[in-house]
Every structure is written in C-alpha cells, then in structure tokens.
Amino acid sequence: MGTVSHDAINQFKALMDQVEEPLKRAYQNVHQGYHAETLARFLKAREWNLIKAHKMLVDCLHWRVQNEIDNILTKPIIPTDLYRAVRDSQLIGMSGYSREGLPVFAHGVGLSTFDKASVHYYVQSHIQINEYRDRIVLPTASKKYGRPITTCVKVLDMTGLKLSALNQIKLMTIISTIDDMNYPEKTNTYYIVNAPYIFSACWKVVKPLLQERTRKKVQVLSGNGRDELLKIMDAASLPHFCKREGSGSSRHSEYANENCFSLDHPFHQQLYNYIKQQSLVSEPTQPIKQGSVHVDLPEPAAEGTEIVKTIESEMHKFENGNGLSGSLDDLKINDNSDYRTTHCP
C-alpha cells in the first residue's frame, strides 16, 4: 500500500473518529477492530476519493441504524420449515477456506428460484449471512491465521441458468445493490463455473459495462472449475458442485452435509443455531417472533440499472430466437479472454 493510500486512510480515520452514537456503535460492528482494512474497502469502492468514501460509509451507518442491522442476528426466520424453504430456493453456502485462509462462499445462481417466501425473507437471509461472515467467520479466520482476513472468495454456479431468470432479476438487483452500498469490496475473486451459452452471451455484452476493478475480479472457469480451484483450495473446501469429474451440478448433493446450500450443512446449522441463541439472549423472556425483518430496499445505481437493462435485452433476444449469432464454439474462438480456463494469480 503506497504513501497516498496510507495518507487517505489516516485522513479517513480522523473523520470517523468524530462519529458519535448511535453511528459509532454501528461502525464498531462494521470494522470489527480492523479499521485500516475497512476504510480501504470504502476508499477502493469510491476510487480513493476521500469525500465520496466518507459519505458512503456514513450513509451505510445510517442504513444500519435505521434498519436495526446490528440486531439482525437476533431475528431467526421461523418456523424452521420456512427457513428450509428459503435455503432450498436461495442457494448460498460456505464450503470451506482457500489456502490463504479466505472463506469460500458458493452461490447457485442458475438454480435459485426465490419463489418460496417473500422478498423480505430473502433480503433478511442474505444480510444475516453477510453479518455472520463479517462478525464471526472473518474475525475467527483472522485469529487462526494471525493476520487480518477481511474478504472472501465466491464460486458462482451457473448450472440451470435460463430465460426464466428474468423473473428473479429484480430481487437479485436489490441484493447486489445492498452489497455494493453497504458491504463493498468484500469479495477477492468471483469464480464462474458451469457457464451455459446464455451466460457467455450475456457476459460478452455486460463485461464492458463493469468497472475495471470489478472486471479484474471475475474469472470464468471451464466446466465445473475443479482443476483450477484446486490450485487455491484443498479438495475438502471445494463446493459440492465442483467435486465431480467434468462439468455439471445439481441443487441437491447425495449427502446433505456435502451440499453447502442445504440447511443440514454444518455452516447453515451453525449460522441458524447462532441466530436462535442470540435471540434468546436478547429477549430471554419473550417467545421468538415470527415474520420477516423489513429492510429498506435500495434503488439501484445508474450503472446497475444499465447492466440490468442490457441483460434483459440480451435474454429477450434469446427468447425471440435472435440471440448472438454463431455457435458456442465460435464464441470460444472469438472471445478466448472471456471463456478461457483461468486461475487466481
């Protein structure tokens, strides 16, 4: 990190030292003792513009206070059958750690249906996983490895991606906007696996719209990415959809404790039990309340809106039979940089 970066972080820290309650308490939950790393994330998200980064972080703290995000890990989704339905339709989980100690999160993008509960339950669940990652998983990893670990690796499974994904694009945009505005720069690298032709075509037109910082994080792997991912993590940490020889995936693994999307997976069991325990600690004499936590849903930024419109337009072309001309082999030949086997540097 250069002198300019250190100077910007020091100036940022001086500004944040002036923050008063209740924002001060919210900030403590954000930085978890890692001030420099947290401030650097917000600076990166605003191209190292101190004024913009400061506004972004203060806005984030106001969002946390207004929506009681600091208490969201005391609000379990009940009954359990409802939470299981959320888990079965919002496919996300943690499969292990990279060799550098970064948590590996898996997302079943293509097979997530988001059709078993209301939007608010899915948003609540997503934020709870973010908060558990930031307050429990990352601090634990930092202590284990003896250095700050404040980011993760994500493996995105595109198996099953099809035109019906347009039905979920609004919710997915809400979730990604929440992440962009309040959890910036938490992902080190995005690995795309099991990418069908429709993804390749959409990626071809979306990639130029992304900021260079984001584009550099995305690596599209061939097949299920197993061989390349084994270069940065042990086999035990591979998501279940990457463990098979060759490509292909499924929503349900043969063994529940191998399927990191399942509520029966150790990660989700630990997360769900933690939230229920915290609920009893915060309100020991009150029964656990049913109902979702309602978080203010943000409007996407201009860049996000343009990307969504581009994806919708491209997928409608496929729907009308007018998708990108040429075969998948043509796409591979003409755009090797997008559809090559890559690895983490």
Helix (H, G, I), strand (E, B) or coil at 159: coil
Q: What is the mean pLDDT of residues 88-117?
A: 96
pLDDT band, very low/low/confident/very high, at 339 (cuts 50, 70, 90): very low
The pair of three-digit structure tokens given for residue 109, joined into one six-digit string: 């993008």
**Which pLDDT score is estimated for 244?**
74
- Lowest-pLDDT range, 51-65, 117-131, 177-191, 235-249? 235-249
Q: What is the largest CA-CA distance in the chain?
A: 65
Asked if the model's pLDDT at residue 345 lies above 50, the reply is no
Q: What is the pLDDT of residues 104-161, one digit of tens each?
A: 999 999 999 999 999 999 999 999 999 999 999 999 999 999 999 999 999 999 999 8
- Measuring CA to CA, which residue among 247, 249, 198 is closest to residue 223? 247
Give the pTM.
Answer: 0.87
Neighbour-count burial for 52-79, b at 16+ CB within 10 Å, e otherwise: ebbebbbebbebbeebebbebbbbbbbe
Q: What is the mean pLDDT of residues 86-106?
A: 97
Which percentage of the chain shows pLDDT scores above 70? Answer: 85
Helix (H, G, I), strand (E, B) or coil at 79: coil
Q: 150: which residues sit within 8 A by CB, 6+ positions away?
A: 34, 37, 38, 41, 138, 142, 186
CA 262/CA 271 separation, integer angstroms: 12
